[in-house]
Structure 1
Amino acid sequence: MESLLDFFNLIDGFLGSAAWFPYVLLGVGAFFTIYLKFPQIRFFKHAWLVVTGKLDKGDEPGDTTHFRALTTALSGTVGTGNISGVAFAIFLGGPAALFWMWATAFLGMTTKFVEVTLSHKYRVKTEDGTMAGGPMYYMDRRLNMKWLAVAFAIATVISSFGTGNLPQSNGIATSIESTFGFSPMLVGGVLAIILGLVILGGIQRIAAVTSKIVPLMAVVYIIGAFAVIFANVENIGPAFGAVISDAFTGSAAAGGFLGATLAYAFNRGVNRGLFSNEAGQGSAPIAHAAAKTKEPVSEGMVSILEPFIDTIIICTITGLVILSSGVWKEKHQNIFDRSDMMFIAGEYQESKNEDVQVLFKHLNKVDEDAITNFTGEIQVVNGVAVSDGFTLLNSRSFAEDVTYSVGSTEDPYTGRLLVEDGALVKQSIIVEGKSLVHSANLTAIAFTRGFFGEYGKYIVSIGLLLFAFSTAIAWSYYGDRAMTYLLGPRSVMPYRVIYCAGFFWAAISDTTLVWALSAVAIVVMTLPNLFGIMMLRKEMKESVNEYWEKVKK
C-alpha cells in the first residue's frame, strides 16, 4: 500500500500538484469568461428561469427535467469536497486556500457553461432509448478525435471510482465510526446494497432520488453550520479579513498551524476547488445531457448555478465554520495515521521561532532539504518515548503528549521501535497524541463549537452521509455512460456490480491512498476536456449568439 501511495503521489506531483496545473485550469476559465463577456454574471438570472421550468416548451427530447438534471449534477459535486475538502484545503494552506477556492468557482461557472453546452449539443440516443452525452461525444462527433474521446471515457470510468466512489465511501465510514462507533465493514456493506438498489434503476431513479436528497441535505447542513457561525459571530469579520489578506501573502504561523506560502495555498485551494465543483473536469455534462431540451445553451446556463451553489455558498459556509471556531489552528487528541506521521532527525521545539521557520520551509516545499528524516531506534517505556535525537510531526504540526501502544490504546508498549527514513517499521503500533487534524474530523470538531454543542458532530456525520452517498449515485451514472460509449449498453451492468463492490472495499481501506488516487484521476479526466473546449471556442460563441437570437424572437 505504501508503494502504491508513493506511486500515486509521484504521478500527482507531475499533474494536479504541479505548479502549472492551477494556471491551466484557471487560465481556461479566465479565457472563456473574457471571450464570452462574463456569462456567469450576465446569464445568472436567466439560468434560474430555465431551471424552474418557466421557459419550457412542452415535450422535448431527453430523459429528465432541467431541475432534476441540475440536482443530479449537484449531487455529483456536493460531496466530501464540501465537508472534508474545504477542511483539508484550510489545513494545508490556511485561510488563503478558501479565497482560491472562490476564484476557481467563479471562473469555473463559465468553464462549466461551456463544457455542458458543447456536450449537450452532440449527445446521442443509445440503443436502449436513453440519452448519452459528455465530452467524449463532442470529441468524437465534432473534433473527429476518436482517440481523445476514448481516452476521456476511460479516464471517466477511473474517475467514477477515484472521485465519486472510493473517497465518498471512505469518508462516510470514517465519520460514522468516529461518531456512532459502527464498524466500517458494516457501514460499507449496508450502503453498497442500497447503492445497488438505486443505480440499477438508471437515470430515472437516480434523478428521482437525488432531487429529494440534495435539498434535504443542504437544509440539514446549513442549519448546523449557522448554529456555529452565529455562536462565533464576533469572529466572522476577522475570518473574512484573513481569507482576503492572506490570499496575496500566504498564511503566517498561528497556534499549531506552521504557516503556508502564497504558492502553496494557491495550489491547494485551486486543487480542492476543482475536487469540490468539478468545473472543467467534464463530469457534469454527462448528467446534463439527459435534460429535456432542444437548446444546448439553455442547459449550459443551468450548469452555471452549480459552482455557485457548491463552492461559493456551501464551501464558504463550511470554511466560515472552521475559521470562526478557530479549530483549524488547534491541536486535538487523535490517533495518528501512518501517512500523516513523520519522524525527523534532531530535536525541534515549537516555542523556538527558528525551528518553526525551518519546518515552514520544509512543509511548504520552499527548502525540502531543510530537515532530514530520522533513521534509528526509539526506546519506549510504558507507552512513552524516553530516548532523544528525533522530533515527531503529525498532520504538519508538532505532536504533543505522544503515547505508543500495541493492540489497543489501553495496552502501552515497552521496548525498542525501529524507524526507517522517518517512518515506523512495526505496523501494529498505535501512536496517539495531540496534533492538528484535517478533513471530516476537523469539520466535525468545528460543528461542536456552536449552539448544538457536542451534538453538532452528528450533523456532520448525517450531512456527510447524504452528501457523499448522493455523489456516489451520480458518479455511477457518469461511469455507466462512459462504459456505454466504450463498449455499449451491455457493459453497464457488470460496471455497476464492480462499482458497488468498490464502494464496499473503500470503506475499509486507507484514507490517504484513496485521496491520492482521486487526485490523479481528476486531472487525467480534466486535461483532455480543457483541450477539447478550447478547440471549439468559436463554435461556443456562435451557439450563444444564436440562442439569444431565438430568445429575442
Structure 2
Amino acid sequence: KKWAWMGTLFAIFGTIAGFGIGNTVQSNSVASVLEANFGLPLWVSGVVLMVLTAAVLLGGIKRIGSVAGTLVPFMAIAYLLAGLTVLAINAEAIPAALDLIFTHAFTGTAAEGGFAGAAVWAAIRFGVARGIFSNEAGLGSAPIAHASAQTNNPVRQGLIAMLGTFIDTIIICSITGLVIITSGTWTSGESGAALTSMAFADALPGVGNYLVAISLAIFAFTTILGWSVYGERCAEYLFGVKVIVPFRILWIVAVPVGAMIGLDFVWLLADTLNAMMAIPNLIALALLSPVVFKLTREYFDNERGLSSPVKS
C-alpha cells in the first residue's frame, strides 16, 4: 500500500500522455500522408477522423472499430510484403544502407536527413524516443489491454506482449527504415509519414504511396480507439466513472487539433509526455522484477516438467 501513490502518478501521466502518442500524433500522421498523396486538406482529414472516432466512442457504433480492427492484420501483411518487394528492387543498396545506419549510430554525423551536426547522444535520444513510440515498451500502456485478456498464466501473456514488441520494432520498423534509406528519399527534407510514402512510391510508383496512406489511416484510427481506452482507464482510476463521458468528448475534440498543428510540436509533446509516463512505470518494473523472475522460473520449470516423457 505504501507504493499506491505511484499508481496515482502513473494514472495522471497516462491520462495526459494518451493525447500525444495515441491521439494527436496519429491524426497528424494520417492528415499529412493523405494530403501528400490525395491532396486532402489537413482539416478535412481531422474532421473525418473525429466523426469516425465519435461514432465509436459516443455513438456506440462498434462495427466501425471492429471492421478497422479486422483490416489491420491484412494491411500489416500487405505493408510487409510491399516493404520486402521494395527491398528486393533496391537489393544492391542494402549493404550501403546498413553501413550508413551502423556507422552513424556511433559517430557524429552531418547527414542531410535532418540530423545535421547530431552526435552519439542525439542518436541515442532519438533512437530511444522512437523505439518507445513504436512498441510502447516501458510505458505501461499495453498492460492495460493485456490485463483484460483471458489467460491461464501471466507469464504466457507476457510472452505474447514481448512478441508484439519484436514484430513492431525489429521487423516492421527495420523494413521501413531500410526502404527509406535504400530509396534515397531520406535526403529529401520530408519527414514522418510523408517520407515513408515517398520512399515506397519511388520503388512502386502508383501503388506504394497509396498502400502506405491507406495502411497508415487504418493503423492510426485503431490506435486512436485503443489509446482512448488506456487514457480512459487512467482517468477513471483518478476520478471514477463520472469522468468517462467528459474524457471521451475531450479525446474526440483533440483529434482534429492534432491533424492541423505542426508536426515538430506534436512529436516534442508526445516524447515529453511519454517520458513522464515511463518514469513511475520503470521504477515499478525495477521493484517488481524479483516477482517477475520468480513467476517466470516457475512457469518454464512447469512447462519442462509437463513436456518431459512420463517414466513408468
Using the size of structure 2 for normalisation, the TM-score is 0.89
Pick aligned residue for 1:446 from 187, 191, 199: 199
2:212 aligns with one of 442, 456, 460: 460
Find the aligned partners of 1:205 and 1:470 in 2 and give their Cα distance: 12
Aligned ranges for residues 426-437 of structure 1 at < 5 Å? 436-437=189-190
- What are the superposed Cα offsets for residues 149-203 of structure 1, whole Å, 9 maximum, x if unpaired? 111101111111011001111111121122112222222122212112334588x
Percent identity over the alignment is: 41
Which structure shows the higher strand fraction? 1
Deviation at 1:545, TM superposition (A): 2.2
Letter in 2 for 1:249: T
| Superposed displacement of residue 205, structure 1 | 7.0
1:314-370 superposed Cα distances (whole Å, 9 cap, x missing partner): 0011011011111212x4xxxxxxxxxxxxxxxxxxxxxxxxxxxxxxxxxxxxxxx
Q: For residues 26-45 of structure 1, what are the structure 2 equivalents within 5 Å?
A: none
Task: Give the CA deviation at 1:229.
Answer: 1.6
Alpha-carbon distance between aligned partners in 2 of 1:252 and 1:185, rounded to the nearest angstrom: 35
Q: Deviations over 1:11-44 (max 9, x none)?
A: xxxxxxxxxxxxxxxxxxxxxxxxxxxxxxxxxx
Post-superposition CA distance 1:411-430 (Å, at most 9, x none) = xxxxxxxxxxxxxxxxxxxx
> Matches of 2:3 and 2:112 in 1, distance apart?
51
| Structure 2 counterpart SS, 1:249 | coil
> Structure 2 matches for 1:110-509, cutoff 5 A?
144-200=2-58, 208-209=66-67, 211-251=69-109, 253=111, 258=116, 260-329=118-187, 331=188, 436-450=189-203, 452-509=204-261
Alpha-carbon distance between aligned partners in 1 of 2:51 and 2:38, rounded to the nearest angstrom: 20
**Residue identity opposite 2:282 in structure 1:** L
* AA in 2 matched with 1:265: A
Q: CA deviation at 1:145?
A: 2.0
How far apart are the structure 2 equivalents of 1:207 and 1:175? 21
* Contiguous gaps of at least 5 residues in structure 2: 307-312
Q: How far apart are residue 255 of structure 1 and its match?
A: 8.8
Q: Hey, what does 1:345 align to over in structure 2?
A: none
| Contact 2:10–2:281 (Cα < 8 Å) also in 1 | yes
Letter in 2 for 1:521: L
State which of 539, 542, 550 in structure 1 corresponds to 2:291. Answer: 539
Q: Deviations over 1:523-548 (max 9, x none)?
A: 00001100011111211111112323
What residue identity is the alignment partner of 1:441?
A: A
CA distance in 2, matches of 1:209, 1:543: 37
- Cα deviation per residue 1:246-268 (whole Å; 9 max; x = unaligned)? 33334454699745322221221
**1:144 Cα deviation (Å)?**
3.4
Q: How does 1:520-539 map to 2 (within 5 A)?
A: 520-539=272-291
- Residue of structure 1 equivalent to 2:270: 518
Higher relative contact order (CA 8 A, sep 6+): 2
CA distance 1:209–1:489, change in 2 (3 Å): farther
Distance 1:263 1:295, change over 3 A: same
1:468-493 Cα deviation digits (max 9, x unpaired): 11211110110111122112233222
TM-score with structure 1 setting the length: 0.52
Question: Compared with structure 1, are the counterparts of its residues 209 and 156 closer, same or farther at alpha carbon in structure 2 (3 Å cutoff)?
Answer: farther
Shift of the 298–210 alpha-carbon distance from structure 1 to 2, 3 Å rule, reads farther
Task: Verify the 8 A CA contact 2:196 2:212 in the aligned structure 1.
Answer: yes
The 1:209/1:303 distance shift into structure 2, 3 A limit, reads farther
Superposition deviation, residue 146 in structure 1: 2.5
Q: Which amino acid aligns with 2:239?
A: L
Letter of the 1:153 counterpart? A
Inter-partner Cα distance in structure 2 for 1:186 and 1:328 = 28
Aligned residue for 2:22, secondary structure, equals coil
- In structure 1, give the amino acid aligned to 2:46: G
C-alpha displacement of 1:210 = 5.9
Aligned-pair distance for 1:206?
9.2
Contact 1:169–1:507, Cα closer than 8 Å, also in 2:
yes
- In 2: Cα distance, 1:264 partner to 1:257 partner: 8
Q: 1:193 to 1:460 in 2, by over 3 A?
A: same
Letter in 2 for 1:176: L
Q: In the aligned structure 1, how far is the partner of 2:131 from the partner of 2:59? A: 31
1:59 corresponds to which residue? none
Question: 2:309 corresponds to which residue?
Answer: none
1:387-433 deviation per Cα after TM superposition (whole angstroms, max 9, x unaligned): xxxxxxxxxxxxxxxxxxxxxxxxxxxxxxxxxxxxxxxxxxxxxxx
Encode CA deviations 1:118-143: one digit per residue, 9 max, x unaligned. xxxxxxxxxxxxxxxxxxxxxxxxx5
Conserved 8 A contact 1:231-1:449: no
CA gap 1:457/1:271 in 2 versus in 1, 3 angstroms? same
User: 2:255 and 2:15 mapped to 1: Cα distance?
Assistant: 14
Q: CA deviation at 1:504?
A: 2.1
Q: Equivalents in 2 of 1:511, 1:310: separation in Å?
A: 22
What SS does structure 2 have at the residue aligned with 1:448?
Answer: helix
Q: Which amino acid aligns with 2:157?
A: E
Instruction: Structure 1: state its 5+ residue gaps.
Output: 1-142, 332-435
Task: Count residues in correspondence.
Answer: 304
Q: Secondary structure at the match of 2:93?
A: helix
Q: Secondary structure at the match of 1:191?
A: helix
1:155, 1:524 within 8 Å by CA — same for their partners in 2? yes
One-letter identity of the residue aligned with 1:225:
G
Q: Which has the higher helix share?
A: 2
Whole-Å separation in 2 of the counterparts to 1:267 and 1:284: 22
1:304 Cα deviation (Å)? Answer: 0.8
Partner AA of 1:513 in structure 2: F
